[in-house]
Amino acid sequence: MSAAQTPQEGAGRAAEGIAHDAALAAWREAAPAEARGLDLAPQALLARFHPDHAPGAMVALDVGVSAGQRCPAALAALLQADALLEDVDIAGAPGHDADVLVIGGGGAGCVAALTAARAGARVLLATKLRLGDSNTVMAEGGIQAAVGPEDSLQRHFEDTLRSGHFAADKALVKALVSDGPDAIRWLIREGMSFDLAREGERMGGTLLRKKPGGATAARLLSYRDFTGLELMRALREAVLLQPGITVLDRHPALELLSDDRGRCAGAVMHDLARGRATLARASATIMATGGAGRLHLSGFPTSNHYGATADGLVLAYRLGAPLRELDSFQFHPTGIAWPAHMEGALVSEAARSSGAFLVNGRGERFVDELQPRDIVAAAILREIEEGRGVLRDGQAGVFLDTPTLERSQPGILAGRLVTLRHLAHRAGIDPAREPFMVRPTLHYQNGGIGIDTDGRTPVPGLLCAGEVTGGLHGRNRMMGNALLELVVFGRRAGASAAAQARREGPRNVGLAHLADWRRALANHGLSATRKAPMVFPPYGNFDIATDRERAA
């Protein structure tokens, strides 16, 4: 992306390229296109074309425990903002008391809540929207685990480190891959379904395994192409049936509570139904709020759900939790590029894992489709920027060759890529006859809050799990490791929180930590007029202060 480009141009709108009709003709003439390797070294490709490396994309933090670290300017503005609350706002607020508070009702939050409750803890699970409204349900491709006879924990470990450019915390990666096989068994016991391999003319009892991008073995397990939705279905049902868990839907967190020892002591929630603050006091708090896609970094569309506004990062950072790799975000290679109203919707990596090719406007394959996601995304952006992309109605992208996939594997679109067919119907195309137009979309937050192998942060009483955390993925996440992460570290954080809650509880709970934060902002000349967390994207036209006034 050149310095002269606007974010929108970087996201895939280009002035030059190959008209759609001409590109279709070139694709038909070449199909199936011959493989062609990259003529740029991976690091050179990333440096020139990945959005994280665009000039001006990152700024350094001025305040807080991670001052000096670089992150996107839009995120830095939230991390260095003032709180939404004053002490007076919580005076007399109704409250809930629990052993463990879980903030976030996606996959990581549900796994943590189940684990803590089954360990005997009284659990309060608070969600911004409704239970299950999360990025988890949008994870289509699958979940990795080394369960095949030709695979090993060591191979999964090495693949993960290599895909993350060797920036990951090795202890976290070891925990992830070591717990992987048992995490799959746990999900099956919870009622999750997986695709089975075909043995002769019938489906057998062996889990179907596919090779994900960046992997050296076939270890991707899936359910059709809506694995995350199936996982979330099983978890949601388990949470609703589990004694000891109280669910608070539509209760976004506005601030963490602290006690007189600097421990995290719960959170202040906003009851959207009543427009008022409510306190959730707890001996241990698990942050499982997900990522930051709805900030639309670098002007890109996003695959993320409506509530992914970096709230957990903001609140944990203000309380003193360190952050890492916040200058690294994942752009999923195959977001919808046309029609414009479907920007951000994903064509699952399951399509590329099954053999779908990426083809430019000249009918050429230009990258190994099963390279790590950052490499594939940068390669697509290169084709667009250098004029080899496909143009249609002002939108730019490349082709995902689903017709050739269907011809080589008859019935795959109807049988295994169900979500893809639904997307095609919404786009008004027949994927067995016409390729999708795709380009990268903002997908995942590679970095986040630093944790240990039990999900604990350096702030006593505060634990984290899922996409809000950092250290596991390094500078690029492997497909399928996100769903595994939420199970492995949700279980670890839930067990650790339950054990911690039995040892000691909070005392003299309030917002004392905000005084130090506000002094730090003033000392660095930062305005106190900017408030965070965002809670909902600006186009949601939601304001906490106005909501409180409405209820008063």
Burial tier of 452 (Cβ tally within 10 Å: 0-12, 13-18, 19+): middle
Torsion of CA 193, 194, 195, 196, to 10 degrees: -100
Strand-pair partners of 346: 335
Three-state SS for 122-153 is: CEEEECCCCCCCCHHHHCCCCEECCCCCCCCH
> In terms of Cα–Cα distance, which of 289, 366, 287, 295 is closest to 329?
295
71 vs 398: CA distance, rounded Å: 29
Cα–Cα dist 404/359, whole Å: 11
Q: Kind and range of the H or E element at 373?
A: helix 373-385
What kind and span of H or E run contains 517?
helix 513-523
Q: What share of the chain is helix, strand, coil (3-state, %, to 5)?
A: 35, 20, 40
User: Buried (b) or exposed (e) across 391-409, using 16+ Cβ within 10 A?
Assistant: bbeebbbbbbbbbbbbeee
Residue type, 276: R
Structure token digits, residue 228: 């995350």
The string of DSSP letters for 399-436 reads EEEHHHHHHHSTTHHHHT-HHHHHHHHHHT--TTTSPE
Q: Kindly report the backbone phi and psi dihedral angles of residue 388, in degrees, each rounded to the nearest multiple of 5, phi listed first.
A: -105, 10
Q: What are phi and psi of 323, to 5 degrees?
A: -115, 160
Catalytic residue among 294, 324, 373, 491: 373
Q: Alpha helices, DSSP H only, in 164-242? A: 170-189, 227-241
Token readout for 551 is 């209820």
Q: What is the DSSP annotation of 55-122?
A: TTSEEE--SSTTTT-EEEHHHHHHHTSBPS--HHHHTT--EEEEEEEEE--SHHHHHHHHHHHHTT--
Q: Minimal CA–CA distance to 342: which of 385, 397, 413?
A: 397
Tell me how long the chain is.
Answer: 552
- The answer to whether residue 373 is catalytic is yes
Beta bridge partners of 124: 101, 246
355 burial type by CB count under 10 A (0-12 exposed, 13-18 middle, 19+ buried):
middle
Q: Give the residue among 293, 389, 418 at the shortest CA–CA distance from 343.
A: 293
Q: Using alpha carbons only, what angle is made at residue 422 by residues 32 and 27, rounded to the nearest 5 degrees? A: 20
Q: Which two tokens stand for residue 341?
A: 């109203």
Can you name the residues that pair with 469 across neighbouring β-strands?
A: 449
Catalytic residue positions, numbered: 373
